[in-house]
Every structure is written in C-alpha cells, then in structure tokens.
C-alpha cells in the first residue's frame, strides 16, 4: 500500500510541477482581484451587518439541503465510481410525493390542528417523501445500473442520463405541466428576530433537520455493521467480497441511504421554494453534484462542507461582488472550475481520489 | 416441487407487465390509440413475454416441455390482465361516481379509460360500462400470454441463431444496391402523381430519405475491395448531393438539422470517442460559433457592437463579413475557446472533467442570457444573414441541407484522416491509459489541447451553419440538452465510429421529427431507448471495430482508467460471482 501511495504521490507531483509557478501566480492575481472587488463594491455598498448575517443564514439553509443531495452523489460515487445523474430526479420525486401527502393531510385537517398534529403530519410527509425516493432509487439501481456494473465508465453515465430524462418527462406526462404548490401550515409561517436578523421558522427547521439527518448518516456509516461494510466496499470491492461482504447488498443499501436523504431534501426544498415540478430536481441536482465535487467526491464530510460553502457563496457572492443575482449560478460554476484547477481532487479530497477520478 | 420455479418467474413477469401497462395508461397512451387501445397493449404484453422467455431459464434445459412454457406465459398474461383490469375498473367506477382524477393524474381522463373499454367517453361518466368488459380484458391478456408462448416455441423450433447463421448468397450486393433503389423510390415519390402513403406522403418520404442515408452507410461498409469502395463511394456521394434537390422544403429543413447535428457529433466524437475526454459542455462551442457568426452578420442586433461600430464610423446595418469569410473567424474563435477550456482541465479525469465542462457550458449560456448589452439577452440576435454566392442567396432549407452535407463530409474526412495520423494514435493511447501514454513519450498537454481545440473548431462550424439556418438565435437554443443530444448521438451510433455518428444523428434527430404526431412521448421514448441501448448494445449501432472488440471481450472486465494495481483475473471472477 505504501509503495502505491508513494507512486501516486510522485505521479501527482510530476504532473503538477511544470505549470506550478504560473498557476499559483494566477491564483494570487485572481484572489487579489476578487478581494479588491469585494472591498470596493461589496463593502462600499454599505449594507448593515445584519444584511450579511441574514444572507449567510439563507446560504446555510440552502447549503443544508444541497448537502443532503450531495451526500447521495458522494455515497454512490464512493462505491460505484459512477455519477448517478438521476439523483436530482430521485429528489424531485420525493418532493412530488411529499406534495400529495401534504394535500391529504391538509384535506383531513391535520395541518390546521394542534402543534403536535402538525408536527406528526410533517414527519409523516417527510417519511412518505423519503420512502418514494428510496423505492425509485432502488428500482433505478436494479434496472439501469446493475446490468452495467462491469461496463466502461461512459456506459452507466449515459444510462443515468437516460434515466434522468425518463423520470423527468414521465412526471411531466403523468402529473401534468402545472407546478405543484406547497402550502405551508400556519404554524410554520413567520419567524422570530435575533437583534436585527430575521430567522424564519421554515429555514430553522430545514437547517436543523438536515443537520440531524447528516448526523444520523454519520452514525450509520461509522457505527453499524452495514456502515462498516460500506466503507470497506468503497475501499476495495474485491477484497471486501473475499472477506464475506455481500457487495450487492451493500450497493443497494447505499442507494437506500442516498435516496432517503434526497427524498427528505426534496420535501424540504418543496417547503423552501413552495413549488415542485418535473424539472425542479435538475438544477439543485447539478448544484449538489458541484458541491460533492467541491468537497472531494467520495468523501462524506467533504460533501457536507462543500455544500455549505456552495450555499454560502451563492447567497453572499452576488451582493459581495456587486453583481446581479442572476449570476449566482455563474459564481457557483466558476468557483467549481477554479477550485478544481488549484485542487483537482476537491477541497478535502485525498490522494486516493487519483485512482477513482 | 421442481415445477414451482417457472411459475414464480411467470408471476414475476406478469407483475412487471402490469407495471408497464399502468405506466402506459398513466401517460395517456390509450387516448392516442383510440378504439385499438386494449388490443395494442395486449400485443405489447405478448411481445414482452416473448422477450422475457426467449432465453432458456437458468438451471432448466433449453428444450423443456412446451406445456411448461405455455403455463408460465399464460400465468404472466393472467396476472397482468387481472391486475390491469382491476385498475381500469377502479378508475371507471371512480369516474362514474363523478370523482375527477385529472388534478392528480393529468392523463387519466374519461377519454383514456373509454378507449380501454372501447366505449364513448360519455358512457364512462354515466356508469354504462358493462361488467363483461373487465372479463374481456383479462381474456385478451391471457391470449397475449398464449401468443407470447407461441412466439417462444416458434423461435425455439427454428433454432436460436439459424436465421443469423444462414448466409443468403449475394446479400452483400443487395446491401450495396439497396440505397440506390431506395433513392429512386424517394425520387419517384416526389412526383405529384405518386400516391404512396396517402395523406402522410411527405412524412413517409422523409422517413425513406433517412433510411436511404442510413442504408448508404451500410452499403459503404459492405464494399470491401478498394476499387469497389471508390466506385460505391463516388456513386453514394453523387446520390447524397442530389438529395436536397429532390426533397421538399420541410424535408430539407429536417435533413439540414440532422446533418448539422451530425457535424457536431463528428466533432464531439474526436473529443470523446478518440481522445476519451468526457465533455458535457460541448454546446458551448456550438453556441460560440453561432453567436460569433451572428455578431459578424447581424451586428445591429447587439447594442454594444452597434455602439462600437458607430464610434468607428462603420455602418452596423450591413454584415461585417460574408458567410465564407466569417467561417475562418468563427472557427478560429471556437478553436481558441476550446484550447482555453482545455488549459484548466488538463489534469482532470473522467467525472471531474465531465462536471467542469458541464459547468463551462452553463456559464456560456448564462452569459448569453444575462449580458444583454452584448448578446441582447433572452431576446436573442435576429436577422442573421444567410450564406450566399455573390448575389445568389443560399438561405433556403435546400441549400442549408446541401451545406450541412458538405460540412459533415468535410469533418468526416478530417476525422478519418486524423484518426490514422500520429496525433490520432496519440489520442487513442491517451484514451486507453494516460500514464502509459505519457511513459511512451506522448506529450499529454499538447495532445489534450489539440483534441479540445479540434473538437471545438468543428462545433463552431456547425454552430455557424445552425445560426444561418435559424436566422434568429436565442440562448434557449443552447441548453445542456444540446450537449446531451450530441453525446447520445455518438454513443448510440457507436463511439469512435464515423458512419455510426451519422447514423446516430439520423436516428436521434431525424426520427423524432418523423414522429411529430407523438411529440409528447418522444423524449420519454428516447430516454428509455438510451437506457435499453446501454444495457443491450453498449457499443452502438455501428461500432468502431476496435471498441467493439473491447466491449465484447467477456472474460476480462474493461475499465477506462485502471487503478495502479489492477488484478483483472481475480476481479473478473469476483464480479461474476457477485452479480
């Protein structure tokens, strides 16, 4: 193992050395330009501190949701080395199921009832969304990915793109074009103030829920037997099979975990954006994948931090750089390109990623 | 009991068939089929059962008794029939009670269910559907099972591959001559007197024209001796170039689009198929080509450029350069931007590369959308000049098709020559293993940048022609889906294979145009096809010989970038065990 690592190290450094000086020079220039822009434009605008804080809070809420989706990408990638391009659609289906569950609970009056009933209803909605996503994810794995496990990289990717389009347009055909509008229960409306900063209940709940789910995932992966099996399969599929790990079962379990998180994210994004429609999983999916790559794909804490950073930059970036908010996607993607130029394995990626990338 | 297993499998197949039928009903297929809805669905189930039972079951002899297969297939049909009849009956009774299901399932309307019962939509609302209808449906599905079993038995009695194995004498010559026969037929169809195809004559002709092109590719492949090859090639080229003059305006316009995408696919084929660099943002160069030509030929559309030209004392209302003079400019700009994209991604591999290129494509589109002073934002650039020879404008679909044909031919020739050149071999080596390629003295930086730049140049050319075809271009013309389309074209056609790319463009851009009538379903059908294709025939319709060998080598798992210590033998046996 050590000799392999050493070889990888030398290979990496050999590839880095020649353009190193230019690269870091360029990096410093870009950083200087950015800070100059932030100081002369962003700070000069004279927004109060509370504005920045509330922007940052928005970013954290969005980042939490991205993190849940990004974890799904990273888990699957860590084990199968494939981009599950349809992961955004798995999330969207969770959101759609959550919408119908919400309609049902609203119709039977739970959403106007006592606080306990509302919370129970919300938990059930979340569970239904997660269950739908899990069913979708597992079916997808069985039909579109498992037959291709031995094929070259491009083949499962194309299959995933096909699956993604298929789910999107099936939803369009089955449920129609009109967006499904989430109506928040009265209990969740509004928020409270901390000093000058307004904190909405929805945002707070989304953030807390996503943190709780991430902690739960971390516990599952670190503490349970299946979690240990997952880690070993991610390390080396063949050797784990020799050690008696059922690789197929672990892969299915990985899809279950990833899809459950995506389903929760879909429901929460529904409450956050208030609408769900056939293509509402696409952009968040790509963003979440960006976040996963940002943190070093295959790396679980990396995905969480990558998503938080992406969320923060997306919400603070436009005002700090003094550019219209329409450019926030450009900021996200440019940041991705820049970070990958300087750290090709992502922010927290190890040298291990060389093998997988 | 030993006989339980086939029955269990039959039930499984029935359940899957039920899922497919439910899907078909939910997306509203019966509305399109009308009275024929249920028989057509039954036929579909029969084919499905045949496809599932075609191969001998694991652990059972290939010649197990016919009754076992029949029992299995009929069970599947009965299960599917009973479940789907129950579902349809549920919808029927709900609708009879006045429940509107449309707010949930957009396509579950009385019309849909009525088509399944073969009654008028009014009868559903009044609850006039007879109770015999579900029984009839179950019976039809059981018959479908029987038919499926019949197909299996028929197939078995003929021997699994007897059809394929038997060589028809002169088959080669039939394949070679076929495109010319088809072409004569297409030309004859153009006569006003020809009535073949009735009201759909135009569509039939378009479809036949595409098949002609497709069969021409097969014909060229069949001609093995060099002399044959030259003769067939010259004749086919002459035929292809005559094609635009016999088709009508709509047919030419569709064919023009198909060949513009073929140009793009051929360019992307260099990046992905030859050099193995997965580029998901290829649309960026297509867009750059289109926008640069638009700036040159319609400067008045862009406020910023208009202002600059007025400052310089140039009239912004006339094109700065003609189509032909603009060509080197667009190609050069696309080429430079390709190399510029290449620099930051030099050290990335596989999926990182895919996501960064995807990001680049989106960045370009968002710039086009938001940089209103330069690109006129979502309102787009309007009145782009058509290509012209002197005062003879070539803007009609006929000449655009001709130009696209010539462009595709040019790019195909360049790609063909490049593939056999020193650079092409370097690309192949790099695709198969970067580290080994570097060790054998290939300059990775140069090779990669050349791949990106070459691909981008061709995309720029395709983009310029596309802008000329569209006359007005908008940022929405250049979404991620264009990249995905181009990628699907080269993968469905056969990665690395030039005729495959053209065939892929015909199949993926042409067929949907022919199927305009079922517009709604074409993306779903296309997506499902993509998945099925990847599972059944991952090397594409017309694979490059080399890639076919790689993908069909069953004993050794093929990986694009093996890790530092791949012990393939152990991996192969393990993978087989685990899957």
Tens of pLDDT, residue by residue over B25-62, are 888 888 877 778 888 899 989 999 888 888 777 777 76
Beta-strand relationship, B392-393 and B388-389: antiparallel
**B121 to chain A nearest CA, in Å?**
20
Encode pLDDT of B259-269 as tens digits. Answer: 999 999 999 99
Does A170 fall in a domain? Answer: yes
Q: Is the domain of A208 the same as that of A152?
A: yes
For residues A309 and A331, state if they share a domain: yes
Tokens of B566: 């791949």
**A183 and A287 co-located in one domain:** no
- Tell me the nearest-neighbour CA distance from B67 into chain A, angstroms: 30
A237 chain-B contacts, CB cut-off 8 A: 574
Q: How far is CA B403 from CA B105, B183, B187, in A?
A: 46, 20, 20
* Predicted pLDDT of residue A353: 43
By CB atoms closer than 10 A (0-12, 13-18, 19+), residue B132 is exposed
Q: What average pLDDT does chain B have?
A: 83
Q: What is the pLDDT of residue B168?
A: 62
Q: Among all chains, which residue has been given the structure tokens 């044909």?
A: B405
Give the distance from residue A311's alpha carbon to the nearest chain B alpha carbon, in angstroms.
16
Of B359, B357, B344, B283, nearest to A334 by C-alpha is B359
Same domain, A123 and A186: yes
Residue A4 has pLDDT above 80, yes or no: no
Residues A342, A234: one domain?
no
Taking contacts as CB-CB distances below 8 angstroms, the residues of chain B near A166 are 524, 527-528, 531
CB atoms within 10 A of CB B433: 16
Q: Tell if the CB–CB gap between A159 and B558 is shorter than 8 Å.
A: no
Q: Is B495 in the A-facing interface, judged by CB distances under 8 Å?
A: yes
Q: Which residue has the higher pLDDT, B516 or A11?
A: B516
Count up the domains in chain A and report the number: 2
Q: How far apart are CA B504 and CA A218, in angstroms?
A: 45
Q: Are residues A273 and A326 in the same domain?
A: no
Q: Are A103 and A184 in the same domain?
A: yes
Query: Which pair of structure tokens corresponds to residue B438?
Result: 């570097």
pTM of the model: 0.80
**Angle formed by the axes of helices B480-493 and B283-297, nearest 10°:** 120
Contacts of A326 in chain B (CB under 8 A): 366, 369-370
Hey, are the CB atoms on B349 and A355 less than 8 Å from each other? Answer: no
CA distance B378 to chain A (A): 13
Burial A152-183 (b: 16+ CB within 10 A, else e): bbbbbbbbbbbbbbbbbbbbbbbbbeebbebe
Q: Name the residue facing B530 among A162, A169, A173 (closest C-beta).
A: A162
Same domain, A259 and A342: no
Cβ contact B487–A151 (<8 Å): no
Question: Which residue intervals of A112-246 are DSSP H helices?
Answer: 115-140, 154-175, 201-223, 225-235, 237-242
> Mean pLDDT throughout A15-30?
69
Domain of residue A330: give its range.
Answer: 281-357
User: Could you identify the residue written with the tokens 């040159």?
Assistant: B296
**In-domain check, residue A15:** no
Q: Tell me if B558 and A152 make a contact (CB, 8 A cut-off).
A: yes
Give CA separation, B64 vs B12, B59, B157, B159, B161, in Å.
Answer: 19, 11, 12, 14, 18
pLDDT in tens, B534-572: 888 877 777 776 666 666 554 444 444 443 343 333 333
**Would residue A101 count as lying in a domain?**
yes
Question: Pick from A149, A170, A327: which is nearest to B370 by CB?
Answer: A327
Quick: pLDDT tens for B351-408: 778 778 888 888 888 888 888 888 888 888 888 888 888 778 888 889 999 999 999 9
Boundary residue ending a domain (A261, A278, A295): A278
Domain end position, chosen among A210, A245, A278 = A278
CB contact at 8 A, B281 and B483: yes
Q: How far apart are the C-alpha atoms of A263 and A130, rounded to whole Å?
A: 4
Q: Are residues A241 and A321 in the same domain?
A: no
A197 shares its domain with A234? yes
Tell me if B217 sits within 8 A of B198, measured CB to CB.
no
Domain assignment present for A329: yes
Quote ipTM for the complex: 0.80
Cβ count near A193 (within 10 Å): 9
In this structure, are A227 and A293 located in the same domain?
A: no
For residue B573, the chain A residue with the least C-alpha distance is: A238
- Model confidence pLDDT, tens digit, residues B272-287: 989 988 888 899 999 9
CB contact under 8 A, B579 and A336: no
Q: Are strands B388-389 and A191-194 parallel, antiparallel or unpaired?
A: unpaired
A287 and A313 part of one domain: yes
Question: Furthest-apart CA pair in chain B: how many Å?
Answer: 93
Last residue of a domain, one of A228, A253, A278: A278
Beta strands A197-200; A191-194: pairing state: antiparallel
Residues of B in contact with A169 (CB under 8 A): 523-524, 527
* Rounded Cα distance, A291 and A304, in Å: 8
Domain chopping of chain B, boundaries: 4-160, 171-247, 249-478
Classified as helix, coil or strand, B244 is: helix
């Amino acid at each position: 193992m050590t000799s392999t690592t050493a070889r990888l190290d030398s290979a990496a450094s050999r590839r880095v050395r020649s353009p190193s000086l230019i690269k870091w020079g360029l990096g410093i220039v870009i950083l200087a330009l950015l800070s100059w822009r932030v100081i002369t434009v962003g700070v000069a605008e004279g927004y109060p501190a509370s504005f920045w804080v509330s922007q940052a809070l928005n970013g954290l809420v969005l980042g939490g949701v991205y993190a849940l989706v990004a974890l799904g990408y990273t888990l699957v990638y860590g084990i199968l080395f494939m981009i599950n391009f349809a992961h955004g659609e798995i999330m969207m289906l969770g959101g759609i199921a959550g919408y119908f569950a919400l309609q049902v609970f609203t119709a039977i009056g739970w959403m106007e009832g006592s606080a306990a009933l509302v919370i129970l209803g919300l938990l059930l909605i979340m569970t239904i969304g997660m269950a739908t996503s899990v069913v979708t994810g597992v079916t997808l794995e069985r039909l579109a990915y498992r037959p291709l496990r031995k094929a070259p990289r491009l083949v499962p990717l194309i299959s995933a793109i096909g699956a993604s389009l298929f789910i999107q347009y099936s939803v369009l055909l089955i449920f129609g074009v009109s967006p499904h509008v989430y109506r928040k229960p009265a209990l969740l409306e509004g928020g409270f103030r901390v000093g000058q900063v307004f904190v909405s209940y929805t945002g707070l709940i989304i953030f807390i829920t996503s943190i709780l789910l991430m902690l739960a995932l971390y516990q599952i992966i670190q503490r349970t037997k299946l979690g240990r099996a997952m880690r070993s399969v991610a390390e080396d599929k063949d050797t784990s099979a020799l050690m008696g790990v059922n690789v197929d079962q672990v892969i299915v379990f990985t899809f279950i975990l990833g899809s459950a998180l995506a389903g929760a994210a879909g429901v929460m994004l529904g409450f956050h954006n208030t609408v769900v429609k056939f293509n509402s999983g696409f952009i968040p999916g790509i963003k979440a994948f960006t976040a996963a790559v940002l943190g070093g794909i295959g790396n679980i804490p990396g995905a969480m931090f990558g998503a938080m950073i992406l969320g923060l930059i997306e919400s603070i970036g436009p005002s700090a750089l003094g550019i219209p908010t329409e450019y926030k996607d450009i900021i996200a993607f440019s940041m991705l390109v820049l970070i990958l130029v300087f750290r090709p394995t992502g922010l927290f990626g190890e040298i291990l990623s060389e093998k997988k990338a | 009991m030993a006989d339980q297993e086939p029955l269990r499998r039959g039930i499984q197949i029935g359940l899957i068939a039920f899922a497919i039928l439910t899907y078909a009903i939910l997306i509203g297929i019966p509305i399109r089929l009308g009275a024929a809805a249920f028989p057509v669905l039954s036929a579909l189930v029969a084919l499905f059962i045949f496809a599932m039972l075609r191969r001998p079951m694991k652990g059972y002899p290939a010649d197990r008794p016919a009754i076992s297969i029949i029992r299995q297939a009929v069970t599947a049909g009965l299960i599917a029939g009973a479940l789907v009849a129950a579902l349809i009956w549920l919808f029927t009774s709900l609708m009879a009670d006045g429940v509107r299901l449309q707010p949930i399932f957009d396509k579950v309307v009385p019309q849909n269910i009525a088509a399944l019962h073969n009654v008028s939509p009014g009868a559903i609302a009044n609850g006039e559907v007879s109770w015999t209808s579900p029984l009839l449906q179950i019976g039809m599905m059981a018959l479908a099972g029987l038919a499926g079993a019949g197909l299996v038995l028929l197939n078995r009695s003929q021997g699994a591959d007897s059809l394929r194995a038997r060589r028809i004498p002169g088959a080669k010559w039939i394949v070679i001559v076929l495109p010319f026969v088809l072409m004569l037929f297409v030309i004859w169809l153009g006569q006003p007197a020809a009535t073949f195809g009735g009201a759909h004559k135009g569509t039939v002709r378009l479809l036949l024209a595409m098949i002609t092109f497709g069969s021409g590719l097969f014909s060229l492949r069949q001609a093995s001796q060099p002399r044959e090859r030259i003769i067939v090639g010259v004749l086919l080229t002459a035929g292809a170039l005559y094609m635009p003059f016999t088709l009508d305006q709509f047919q030419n316009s569709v064919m023009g689009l198909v060949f513009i995408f073929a140009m793009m696919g051929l360019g992307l084929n260099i990046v992905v198929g030859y050099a193995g660099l997965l580029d998901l943002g290829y649309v960026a160069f297509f867009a750059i080509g289109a926008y640069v030509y638009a700036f040159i030929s319609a400067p008045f559309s862009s406020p910023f450029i208009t202002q600059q030209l007025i400052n310089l004392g140039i009239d912004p209302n006339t094109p700065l350069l003609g189509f032909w003079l603009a060509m080197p400019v667009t190609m050069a700009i696309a080429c430079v931007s390709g190399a510029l994209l290449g620099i930051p991604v030099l050290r990335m591999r596989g999926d990182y590369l895919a996501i960064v290129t995807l990001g680049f494509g989106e960045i370009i589109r968002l710039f086009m959308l938001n940089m209103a002073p330069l690109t006129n934002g979502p309102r787009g650039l309007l009145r782009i000049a058509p290509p012209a020879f002197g005062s003879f404008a070539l803007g009609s679909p006929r000449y655009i098709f001709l130009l696209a044909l010539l462009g595709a031919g040019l790019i195909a020739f360049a790609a063909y020559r490049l593939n056999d050149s020193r650079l092409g071999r370097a690309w192949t080596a790099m695709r198969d293993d970067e580290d080994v390629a570097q060790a054998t003295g290939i300059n990775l930086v140069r090779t990669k940048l050349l791949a990106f730049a070459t691909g981008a140049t061709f995309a720029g050319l395709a983009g310029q022609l596309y802008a000329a075809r569209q006359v007005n271009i908008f940022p929405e013309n250049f979404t991620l889906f264009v990249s995905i389309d181009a990628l699907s074209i080269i993968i469905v056609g056969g990665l690395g294979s030039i005729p495959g790319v053209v065939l892929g463009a015909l199949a993926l851009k042409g067929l949907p145009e022919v199927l305009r009538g079922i517009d709604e379903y074409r993306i779903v059908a296309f997506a499902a096809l993509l998945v099925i294709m990847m599972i059944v025939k991952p090397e594409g319709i017309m694979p490059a010989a080399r890639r076919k060998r790689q993908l069909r080598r069953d004993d050794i798992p093929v990986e694009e970038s093996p890790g530092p210590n791949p012990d393939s033998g152990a991996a192969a046996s393990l993978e087989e065990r685990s899957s």
